[in-house]
Structure 1
Amino acid sequence: ERRFQPVTVNEPTIDDTVEVLQGIKKYYEDYHRVKISDYLLRMCAVLSERYINDRFLPDKAIDLLDESCACASIGSPELAEYDRLKKHLESLKENEKQMEDNEQPDFKALAELKANIIRVSGKLDEYEKLIENVCVREDDLAKVIELWTGIPASKVAESEFRKIANLETALKKRIIGQDEAVELVAKAIKRTRVQLSKRRRPASFIFVGPTGVGKTELVKVLSEEMFDGTDTLIRLDMTEFMEKHAVSRIIGSPPGYVGYDEAGQLTEKVRRKPYSVVLFDEIEKAHPDVMNILLQILDEGRVNDAQGRSISFENTIIAMTSNAGSSDKSNGVGFNKTEDEISKDKAIKGLREFLRPEFISRIDEIVVFKNLTKQDYGKIAALMLDEMKEPLSERNISLTYDQKALDAVAEKSYSKKFGARDIRRIIRSEIEDKIAEIIIDNSEKVVNNISVSADNNDITVKFSE
């Protein structure tokens, strides 16, 4: 370092990357014979930043632009026909030259050849005008990203605002009996994504309520709907972070300590997947020092890891679950309060017992989940049975069920103490096991349909050939 001056080159921002792409756009347009819009250049930078996490800008954006141009060029029928006509014209002109050099040319054949050359030249001129309109589209970017990452092109091409606009409807289809909670979450995400304030902070929630009512399930569905896949869910169980030294597991160990060369569990995952949902399960069990790190993330939208790198949480969604207040047996104070209102009061009171006021004030929404009804249990059972249809259809077997079957599953699994967790167990023991026996016992027969019903809450599974 005495002889050389260190120069730190930071990764450029998306705006800087767009300027770089505008400077080299002309070269790619000329080479691939396509047109590139300014909007597409910005999408190159935005999509590469979102979906390609093991490389840096502008390198990954330039590669995405290059391959997208190639994709548009190869997929253009106009360019393909232009190249074919051009080769055909060159071949005709070569034949014309050979015939003219012949001592005794066939003038009739030569005249036909010249007429053919004029016809092909005219057609080539037509296609020369058409190829000027070949443009790189957003679909081409999506196809390249699908090739690189495996994320379906339809998901990549869907704009973030379109996803957010349809988020509430998509969540309500899969989260049963918690419409109020879903509405609060959807509104908060819309608010943070539009970025009305100058400070960039992640959307943050605390989900409270009894066990088995859909708190963790909502987080899973949210990661699938917003960020295209369950691998975008980063889950940390706070029972593993009850000790003071657990902070090093989140941001990494400081220099001189064991494990310094290993990255933090949270910071490294967010660095690699900046568009993700971070779940802190059972937040009340975390050590106060861990809560201080979380407070910084909620306040500033970023945190420094042990190696000094600034990790941005601006594009994440932070969810915390808690069972606060669910074990409180005391009656709620107040007249004419419903059971849900009483449980909500208990939950908020329980949160305030272990969370500091400055922490609670930085949370976007405290979402209280209510107890599920028997009708909700039946709807959840229907969702779980629908999940079985696809694997059975691969065996050319259709699955049908009636309302009696759903009512029987709801009756057998209904429990305010354990919530909806028993539904899966009932379906596994009462339905899945019987279906497996039918398929194995009738392996030499052709089973076309399996029907599930119930008689006096006794679930029956029958098949037809």
Structure 2
Amino acid sequence: MRWLTSLAARLMPLAFLLIAATAVAQFWLQHAPSGLAIDGYLDSASAFLGKYAWWEMGVSLALWMIFFMGYFRERHRVAYPDLVDGSRIMDILDRLTNRSALEAKLASQPEAIFIDAEQLAIALKAKVIGQNGACDDMAAQIRRRLALKQRGKPVGVFLLAGPPGTGKTYLAKCLGTALQRKLLHFDMTQFSSGGHGATQLFGSAKGYVGSDVYGKLTSGLRDAPDAVVLLDEIEKAHADVQKNFLTAWNDGFVTEASDGKQISTTQAIFILTTNAATDALQSLSELHANDSDELRRTSTNALRESGFAPEIINRLDRIFFFKPLSGLDVARVVALEIESMIKSYGLNVSLGGIDPEVLYDMMRRQGRLGTAASARDLVRIAEESIADTLIEAKQKGHTRVSLVTVDGRVIARPET
């Protein structure tokens, strides 16, 4: 606009002369005396100027309008900065805020992501045994929430409730693998003290020991903003530690205590697990299986009665109920744990290479531990039963083995 105003100002004298000449020509045509020697020339010039009088007047008027518009804009530049350069919104932002910082923040907002819920569910069910309903529901929830372009909160805050050893922790790990996201795993029993537990996760304020190092959670989310954050046995954490997560779930950030920096949580998935109110939740999940609203209401009441803070419950997006394992589902879990252990020693298991007697014995031993038994107990039982024979097989150079029971002992035999 400035260059146009400048051009109009330069052409303004010429426009003035044209108007004056046109006026003189019109006057001459109407009032000129006759008999002059130059009558012919003046008549021709006057006729020419008169013919284009309206065009000259229009151009001149346009030039004057452009000039005065430019003058008005320059005169009110300070009073009305939002009218400058034709960019009303951005000029307001320049005047009232840090536009560059705002643009950077908007650029960091998560984009909508579309995943195949069916394929995700299949991947989860292939690993997490006996919890098909929870796997299907989890896949559907993740798909819906990732598709939201503007969230302002985490992708999801999900509570997995149920007896120990049913696959809650394992589901979170499998979810991270399936989505190709880093897993940040925190055993919340280690954060049962208020102040110390909070500093481990969220950092220490300046002047305190460790203030030069970020907390475990804040550093993890800083380096992997889209991580799956697993808070195992959340009910065991101190109440003050739990409350530190409220801004993460409600406002979309956590604050690092050492420097006050806000770390975004809008791309993260929070998975909480609990063993609290197991019996009550199991009964409610069966009683209200076809009424999701009533199940949500009654299950949150059960969690509140078991000690969960209301502000934590209110920020849960979904509660998933895990069923106790029985029969062949237990055998499947045992078989998967054995296969994982064999691979951890650099070996492979032969097709059909686990003697049913081996599985049955481990299932029986875990069953004696009662409902308090967990996957960790199963790993311990497997280590006691097969670790030594796997080490011997590896030392002998075997690569693929079968497990059989001989005189009450498990033996790793090489594939023939």
Q: Is the 8 A contact 1:216 1:321 kept in 2?
A: yes
Q: What is the 5 A alignment of 1:202-351?
A: 202-228=155-181, 232-244=183-195, 246-306=197-257, 307-326=259-278, 348-351=300-303
- Among 424, 427, 430, the alignment partner of 2:385 is 430
**Alpha-carbon separation, structure 1, partners of 2:322 and 2:282:** 18
CA gap 1:200/1:389 in 2 versus in 1, 3 angstroms:
same
The AA in structure 1 aligned to 2:262 is: S
State the partner residue of 1:410: 363
The AA in structure 2 aligned to 1:322 is: T
Secondary structure in 2 matching 1:407: helix
Distance apart, 1:173 and its partner CA: 0.6
CA gap 1:286/1:387 in 2 versus in 1, 3 angstroms:
closer
The AA in structure 1 aligned to 2:390 is: I
State the partner residue of 1:361: 314
Could you say which structure has the larger radius of gyration? 2
Distance apart, 1:270 and its partner CA: 0.5
CA gap 1:360/1:334 in 2 versus in 1, 3 angstroms:
closer
Runs of 5+ consecutive residues of structure 2 not aligned to the other structure: 1-97, 290-295
1:216-273 CA deviation, whole Å, 9 max, x = no partner? 11111122222345xx324252432422454333333334444333322211220111
**Alpha-carbon separation, structure 2, partners of 1:222 and 1:428:** 26
Q: Is the 8 A contact 2:191 2:198 kept in 1?
A: no
State the partner residue of 2:131: 178
State the partner residue of 2:17: none
Secondary structure in 2 matching 1:262: coil
Q: What is the 5 A alignment of 1:49-68?
A: none
State the partner residue of 2:39: none
**Alpha-carbon separation, structure 2, partners of 1:319 and 1:236:** 12
Q: What is the 5 A alignment of 1:70-219?
A: 161-162=114-115, 164-195=117-148, 199-219=152-172
**Alpha-carbon separation, structure 1, partners of 2:398 and 2:218:** 51
- Among 333, 352, 357, the alignment partner of 1:380 is 333
**Alpha-carbon separation, structure 2, partners of 1:276 and 1:242:** 25
1:21-68 CA deviation, whole Å, 9 max, x = no partner? xxxxxxxxxxxxxxxxxxxxxxxxx9xx99xxxxxxxxxxxxxxxxxx
**Alpha-carbon separation, structure 1, partners of 2:162 and 2:122:** 22
**Alpha-carbon separation, structure 1, partners of 2:361 and 2:178:** 31
**Alpha-carbon separation, structure 1, partners of 2:412 and 2:260:** 60
Runs of 5+ consecutive residues of structure 1 not aligned to the other structure: 1-6, 18-45, 51-158, 339-343
Secondary structure in 1 matching 2:164: coil
Distance apart, 1:363 and its partner CA: 0.7
Q: Is the 8 A contact 1:178 1:369 kept in 2?
A: yes
The AA in structure 1 aligned to 2:180 is: F
**Alpha-carbon separation, structure 2, partners of 1:16 and 1:448:** 51
**Alpha-carbon separation, structure 1, partners of 2:410 and 2:126:** 26
1:133-163 CA deviation, whole Å, 9 max, x = no partner? xxxxxxxxxxxxxxxxxxxxxxxxxx95346
Distance apart, 1:314 and its partner CA: 0.8
Distance apart, 1:176 and its partner CA: 0.7
Identity across the alignment (%): 29
Distance apart, 1:396 and its partner CA: 8.8
State the partner residue of 2:73: none
Moved over 6 A (4+): 330-338, 344-347, 394-397, 455-458
Q: Is the 8 A contact 1:241 1:247 kept in 2?
A: no
**Alpha-carbon separation, structure 1, partners of 2:402 and 2:286:** 48
State the partner residue of 2:57: none
CA gap 1:263/1:390 in 2 versus in 1, 3 angstroms:
closer
Number of residue equivalences: 309
State the partner residue of 2:61: none
- The CA RMSD over aligned residues, in Å, is 4.2
CA gap 1:258/1:459 in 2 versus in 1, 3 angstroms:
closer
**Alpha-carbon separation, structure 2, partners of 1:333 and 1:398:** 43
**Alpha-carbon separation, structure 1, partners of 2:286 and 2:179:** 41
The AA in structure 1 aligned to 2:165 is: G
Secondary structure in 1 matching 2:212: coil
